[in-house]
Amino acid sequence: MSFIQPAQRLRRLPSQLFARLVASTQNLQSAGHDVINLGQGNPDLPTPAHVVAAAHRAVDNPATHKYSPFGGLKVLRDAAATWYEREFNVVLDPETEICILIGAKLGLQEISLCLLDEGDICLMPDPGYPDYSSGVALAGGHAFPMPLLAEHRFLPDLSAIPKEVAQAAKLMFLNYPTNPTGAVASPAFFREVVAYAGEHNIAVAHDLAYGDLVFDSRERVSFLQTPGAKSVGVEFCTLSKSYNMAGWRIGFAAGNTAIISAMNLLQDHLNCSQWGAVQLAAVEALTGPQESVRALCAEYERRRDIWVDAAGEIGWELRPSAGSFFVWCPIPKNFTSESFADLLLRECHVVVAPGVGFGPAGEGYVRVSLTTAPERLREAAQRIGRLQVF
């Protein structure tokens, strides 16, 4: 037996849902099967051409061949502030209220390391993006679930949080439009959150990953638009979804100066910021033409309608998502979310994400990703229909 054992912090990490999905998909594909992968939220469309062109120019610039500044390029922090003011009428100080991230995922874990000590409580959406829990586990904190239920429009009921938990909590994660439910939040809800966080001294981390992907002419809403939001929290933005830049690994956090300062300090010790060429491409994405973002949102809305209609044709009645590129799909009776996902994988070669992988309150659902071509969405529904389980 090896004397080398992982540190306790690694043993606390939850199993990685998406790593299992990828492995299952690859095993079937290696065996020669035609697999339709609706399990991963991996954008399938290319990065806009003008962004790619900016990256090419940046690669040819010898300045990008050096280490980037620890806090990221000033021109990118300025671009992020410009984007917020243009899109949401939110004014930010690029020097003190923006932190450049090597992908928002990293920042969503770093905030727990910055704000939680061993044993501290974090309020966690259930179901929610699994990597929120990963950061809390690495910090040695405890996650307290906030159930997101259909009868409450997939918003947490803050009044249901026990008083002693609210008084002890240090951090709250939120994500609207949501992964996995596709729900959106209203300005009124965010006002409630700001008041609650201020009353109980809880820092708020709002994940705006799908902020541009809002359907049916709904208004796009940023947490930072809420009066007082910067006094209690930060918002995380990624270029992965709106600009199809998932593999580029670039994003930023914005808001509360104390949280931004703590995250920048931690990053000073962990990394030397993202490659300058990627940052300059991100500048072009944020400040250049935005027609591709609107077209992308329209495409995901079209795919949502195709999937919901195709599912309806086989008797699978679904509620259309209000935003994101996911559909939260209730499963037939007599199945668990994992057994139903296993059935679709085994019999239909269709990959979906079991709802329980996003938290106990996700039981009874599977998550379908719209990041595949419309004809494949239709085919997936037809394959599932042959099972006659609806």
> How many other CB atoms are there within 10 angstroms of residue 232's CB atom?
24
**Which band of pLDDT confidence, cut at 50, 70 and 90, is reported for residue 287?**
very high
* pLDDT, tens only, 247-256: 999 999 999 9
Whole-number Å distance between alpha carbons of 25 and 15: 17
| Each residue's pLDDT tens digit, 102-128 | 999 999 999 999 999 999 999 999 999
Name the nearest CA neighbour of 272 among 25, 11, 73, 4: 73
Q: What is d(CA 65, CA 190) in angstroms, rounded to the nearest whole number?
A: 42
Task: Flag whether pLDDT at 1 surpasses 70.
Answer: no
Please state whether the predicted TM-score (pTM) of the whole model is above 0.95.
yes
pLDDT at 273 over 80: yes
Q: Where in the chain is the domain with CATH 3.40.640.10?
A: 49-287
Q: CATH 3.90.1150.10 in the chain, residues?
A: 8-46+291-385
DSSP notation for 333-370:
TT--HHHHHHHIIIII-EE-EEGGGG-GGGTTEEEEE-
Provide the pLDDT for residue 21.
Answer: 73
Strand 353-354 relative to strand 350-351, pairing: unpaired
Token reading at 113: 């390391």
pLDDT single digits (tens) 54-97? 999 999 999 999 999 999 999 999 999 999 999 999 999 999 99
Q: Which one is the CATH code of 8-46+291-385: 3.40.605.10, 3.90.1150.10, 2.60.40.10, 3.40.50.1980? A: 3.90.1150.10
Average pLDDT, integer, range 238-259: 98
Mean pLDDT (the chain) is 96
Nearest to 280 by CA among 84, 86, 59: 59
CATH code, 49-287: 3.40.640.10
Burial class from Cβ neighbours inside 10 Å (0-12, 13-18, 19+) for residue 6 reads exposed
Task: Using alpha carbons, list the distances in angstroms from residue 366 to 50, 226, 336, 353.
Answer: 36, 32, 9, 5
